[in-house]
Amino acid sequence: MEENLKDAAIAVPQPAPAVGGENAAGVDKDDSAVVFDGVTFSYNDQPSPALNGITFSVKKGEFLAVIGHNGSGKSTLARLINGLLLPDKGKVTVFGLDTSEGKNPIEIRKRAGIVFQNPDNQMVASIIEDDVAFGPENIGVEREEIGRRIDWALGAVGMSAYRTGTPSRLSGGQKQRIAIAGVLAIKPDILILDESTAMLDPRGRREVMGVVSRLNREEGLTVILITHFMEEALLADRTIVLNRGEIVMQGTPAEIFLHSERLEAYNLSLPRIGRICKALQGAGIDVADCLTPEILAEEIKEAADCRGIEKREVHSVPPQRAESAHEWDIDVKNLTFTYSAKSPFASKALRGIDLHIDEGEFFGIIGHTGSGKSTLVQHLNALIKLPQAEKRYRAKKPKKGQPAPVLPQITVGPFNLADKKCNFVKLRESVGMVFQYPEYQLFAETVFADVAFGLKNFRKGISAEETEAAVRAAVEMVGLDYEEVKDKSPFDLSGGQKRRVAIAGVIVTRPHILILDEPAAGLDPLGKQEIMELLHKLHREWCSTVIVVSHDMDEIADNCTMAAVISEGAVADCALPRELFKKAEELTSLGLDIPLTAKACARLKELGIEIDTDFTCEDFAGKVISLFNGGDNA
Partner 1 sequence: MLNDVTFGQYYPAKSFVHAMDPRTKLLALIAFIVAIFIADTFYGMILCAVVLMATVIAARVPFGSVLRSVKGILFILILTSVLNLFFHGGEHPLTPPDSPITIYREAVVYTVFLLLRLFLLVMASAVLTLTTTPVRLTDGIESLLTPLKWIRFPVHELALIMSIALRFIPTLIDETNRIIAAQKARGADFESGNIFKRIKAVVPILIPLLISAFRRAEELGDAMDARCYSGSKNRTKYKKLRFGWRDLVGAIIFAALIAGVVLFNIYAAQIWPEIYEYIIIT
Q: Which of 93, 114, 117, 187 is nearest to 148 (CA)?
A: 187
Q: Name the minimum Å distance from CB 391 to partner 1.
A: 10
Please list the residues that pair with 94 across neighbouring strands.
34, 97
Q: Using CB under 8 A, pick the residue from 20, 42, 59, 79 that binds partner 1.
A: 79
Q: For partner 1, give the closer residue by CB, 342 or 400.
A: 342
Task: Scan residues 247-306 and list those touching partner 1 (CB under 8 A).
Answer: none
> At residue 43, what are phi and psi to the nearest 5 degrees?
-80, 150
What whole-number distance in Å separates Cα of residue 214 and Cα of residue 210?
6
Report H helices in 185-229.
202-218
Q: Name the minimum Å distance from CB 288 to partner 1.
A: 42
Task: Scan residues 159-178 and list those touching partner 1 (CB under 8 A).
Answer: 168
Q: Using CB under 8 A, pick the residue from 73, 87, 135, 173 that binds partner 1.
A: 135
Distances (CA, A) of 30 to 35, 96, 107, 216, 223: 11, 8, 18, 19, 18
| Per-residue contact string for residues 377-416; x = within reach of partner 1 by CB under 8 A | -x--x-x---------------------------------
Q: Name the minimum Å distance from CB 497 to partner 1.
A: 16
- Other CB atoms within a 10 A radius of the CB of residue 489 amount to 14
Q: Name the minimum Å distance from CB 556 to partner 1.
A: 23
Helix (H) or strand (E) holding 573: strand 570-575
Residue 608 CA, chain-centre distance (Å), reads: 33
Q: Name the minimum Å distance from CB 612 to partner 1.
A: 40
Q: For partner 1, give the closer residue by CB, 58 or 427.
A: 427
| Per-residue contact string for residues 179-218; x = within reach of partner 1 by CB under 8 A | ---xx--x--------------------------------
What whole-number distance in Å separates Cα of residue 266 and Cα of residue 250?
13
| Mutual angle of helices 596-606 and 617-633, in 10-degree steps | 30
Q: Name the minimum Å distance from CB 604 to partner 1.
A: 43
Q: For partner 1, give the closer residue by CB, 269 or 381.
A: 381
Q: Label the pairing between strands 347-357 and 63-67.
A: unpaired
> At residue 617, what are phi and psi to the nearest 5 degrees?
-55, -45
- The interface region with partner 1, picked from 210-218, 451-459, 468-476, 542-550 by CB under 8 A, is 451-459
- The interface region with partner 1, picked from 77-85, 280-288, 298-306, 553-561 by CB under 8 A, is 77-85
- The interface region with partner 1, picked from 208-216, 330-338, 393-401, 422-430 by CB under 8 A, is 422-430
Task: Scan residues 47-76 and list those touching partner 1 (CB under 8 A).
Answer: none
Q: For partner 1, give the closer residue by CB, 478 or 600.
A: 478
Q: Using CB under 8 A, pick the residue from 3, 88, 137, 419 that binds partner 1.
A: 137
Q: What is the DSSP string of 404-449?
A: PPPPPEEEETTEETT-TTS-HHHHHHHEEEE-SSGGGG--SSSHHH
Cβ neighbours for 212, distance < 8 A, ≥ 6 positions apart: 180, 191, 193, 223, 225, 235
Q: For partner 1, give the closer residue by CB, 130 or 573.
A: 130
Q: Using CB under 8 A, pick the residue from 41, 56, 63, 116 that binds partner 1.
A: 116
Burial of 142 (0-12, 13-18, 19+ CB in 10 A): exposed
Query: Is residue 125 a contact residue for partner 1 (CB under 8 A)?
Result: yes
> At residue 302, what are phi and psi to the nearest 5 degrees?
-60, -45
Single-letter residue type at 493: L
What whole-number distance in Å separates Cα of residue 554 and Cα of residue 374?
19
> How many chain residues interact with partner 1 (CB under 8 A)?
67
- Other CB atoms within a 10 A radius of the CB of residue 525 amount to 21
Please list the residues that pair with 35 across neighbouring strands.
57, 93
Query: Is residue 121 a contact residue for partner 1 (CB under 8 A)?
Result: yes
Helix (H) or strand (E) holding 349: strand 347-357
Task: Scan residues 480-519 and list those touching partner 1 (CB under 8 A).
Answer: 491, 505-506, 509
What whole-number distance in Å separates Cα of residue 190 and Cα of residue 110?
9
Query: Is residue 423 a contact residue for partner 1 (CB under 8 A)?
Result: no
Query: Is residue 440 a contact residue for partner 1 (CB under 8 A)?
Result: yes
| Per-residue contact string for residues 551-570; x = within reach of partner 1 by CB under 8 A | --------------------
Task: Scan residues 599-628 and list those touching partner 1 (CB under 8 A).
Answer: none
Q: Using CB under 8 A, pick the residue from 3, 22, 120, 419 that binds partner 1.
A: 120
Q: Which of 538, 563, 573, 438 is nearest to 497 (CA)?
A: 438
Q: For partner 1, give the closer residue by CB, 109 or 205.
A: 109
Q: Label the pairing between strands 610-611 and 313-314.
A: parallel
Contacts to partner 1 by CB under 8 A: 79, 82, 84, 106, 109-110, 113-114, 116, 118, 120-127, 129-130, 133-143, 146-147, 150, 168, 182-183, 186, 339-340, 343-345, 378, 381, 383, 425, 428-429, 432-433, 435-436, 438, 440-444, 453-454, 457-458, 491, 505-506, 509
